[in-house]
Copies of this chain bind each other. A is one copy, B any other.
Amino acid sequence: VGNIPGFQQTVHLMPQIEHIKQQIAKENVHFVRFEATDLHGVSRSKTIPARFFQEKAIHGIFMPRSYLELTLNPKDNEVDYISATNYNSDIVLVPDLSTFRVIPWAEKMARIICDSYSITGNPLLTSPRHIVKRQLNQLQESELSLYSAFTYEFCIYGVAEVINSKTIFLPAATLLNDHDQPFIQQLIDGMYHIGANIESFSSSTGPGQVEISFRPEFGLRVADNAFSFRTGVKELAKKNGYIASFFTETGFFNSGILSHSLWDRSGRRNLFHSGTLQLTDIGKNWLSGLLLHSPALSCLVAPGVSCRKRFSKDGKESHEVAHVTWGTNDNSSSYNIKFHGSNGPHIENNLGSATANPYLVLAATIAAGLDGIRKGLNAFDSASHASTLEMKSPTVPLSLEDALVALKEDTCLKEALGEGFISYFVAMKQYELETEESDTERNKFLEYFI
């Protein structure tokens, strides 16, 4: 039995595995769902009978890579061997034992989040969870840590119908705003039982729009919980006869905002905190990094064609680009710096949509920020409220095509996220853009994007 280098001896996992096997017995769990995220933050999983748990927990689960990543045929026809070969191979999902939870709204079911590796034991360079772990390690190596939280704004529908026009019209239960559906209460209590801590729930601008914001946490758990939330809210909505969707529909507004702040490694001091209404130097570097890489960043945090529409304020003339703005306590700017709140100053990235993959959002944000720190970029000097600006002001392309071009040319992100991932991601999106004409295809996408 070949071994996978880099893992310690199995015996140190045993007590944890024992503890879990106990829970499995205690709570009468019959099935464990090993899930990993795909490119779109949708969970892909294999379900196993609970009696194989120990073995799978040690050796991981094998599945064809194409589950996580769809297959493409090359456009022109010459045969090249190296790149094509490993898109159809198997990969292995190795579970992260600390994410084991019994699912409160399903019978006899538990779940565990996995990292995906190639079979030679190397982590998949295209797996979002791995990418984000690398970024977190680099933060740790430079004595830093990230304290962040997601806020989702999305739409909940009643049962849909398909008629010949474009919109989905849902008459009855649109009004969630008398705030007391048992559904909401199950959702909030349920999430708490699997470790996802929802801080507030509110109605926002249109009918059926809901906004859910999480309590901030350190490190990876932010993305794990956002991921669990996206899967859970869909299943729970279905159980109560609703549909929850993170897909951006015209006329309905949705966003996924990451608000984050940089702390020292042991999580004691907030490194954005300078005592005045200014960021510290390291804060300015971090933000400049985000500004610099915004064009490329934007197609990771708003990866859908129709979720970029709101980058341009008005709908008449169509310039190619939109201005990237920053501000203090200004929700209309792309990057919003907030100095209030019980945890000190933090930055909100408003370019994000609910469709984005939370792992990629987190990874890209860290990559851009660190680049700002390493190059000591600085786009500001001290200021009153009225200020003048010399350097070229950053812009964001309105169309997805241009954003993909920007991503390809962004050497820093290419390094940070990995060569393979970027070229794969770009290829992926172009494919979508090309195959977009008739409607039936779209539904495949509806199922596809759920």
Contacts and interface: CB of A to CB of B under 8 A. Distances in A.
A137 interface: no
Nearest to A46: B202
A90 interface: yes
A87 B52 CA distance: 48
A144 B165 CA distance: 62
A25 interface: no
Contacts of A49: 188, 192, 198-199
Q: How many copies of the polypeptide does the oligomer hold?
A: 2
Contact of A329 (B90, B108, B327): B90
Nearest to A338: B90
B185 A88 contact: no
B1 A342 contact: yes
A438 interface: no
A10 interface: no
A78 interface: no
A159 to B, nearest CB: 10
Interface stretch (A58-66, A413-421, A423-431): A58-66
A64 B63 CA distance: 44
Interface in A38-70: 44-49, 52, 55, 59, 61-67, 70
A242 interface: no
Contact of A185 (B71, B108, B185, B188): B108
A385 interface: yes
Contact of A201 (B47, B81, B108, B385): B47
A67 B203 CA distance: 9
A374 interface: no
A449 B199 CA distance: 28
Contacts of A2: 339-340
Given A88-B327, A92-B340, A106 B202 contact: no
A333 interface: yes
Nearest to A45: B202
A67 B204 contact: yes
Contacts of A140: none
Contact of A330 (B33, B89, B179): B89
Contacts of A86: 329-330
Given A30-B185, A338-B119, A45 B81 contact: no
A73 interface: yes
B331 A65 contact: yes
Interface string A192-212: 100000111111111100000
A372 to B, nearest CB: 24
A90 B340 contact: yes
A19 interface: no
A227 interface: no
Interface in A333-381: 333, 336, 338-342, 344
A179 B82 CA distance: 37
Contact of A180 (B70, B106, B444): B106
A88 B200 contact: no
6 contacts: A47-B201, A62-B340, A63-B202, A86-B329, A88-B333, A89-B336
State the 9 A-B residue pairs at the shortest beta-carbon distance, nearest first: A88-B332, A89-B329, A88-B331, A119-B340, A46-B202, A64-B331, A178-B235, A106-B180, A46-B200
Interface of A: 1-2, 30-31, 33, 44-49, 52, 55, 59, 61-67, 70-71, 73, 81-82, 84-90, 92, 106-109, 118-119, 175, 178-180, 185, 188, 192, 198-207, 234-235, 238, 313-314, 327-333, 336, 338-342, 344, 385-386, 444, 447
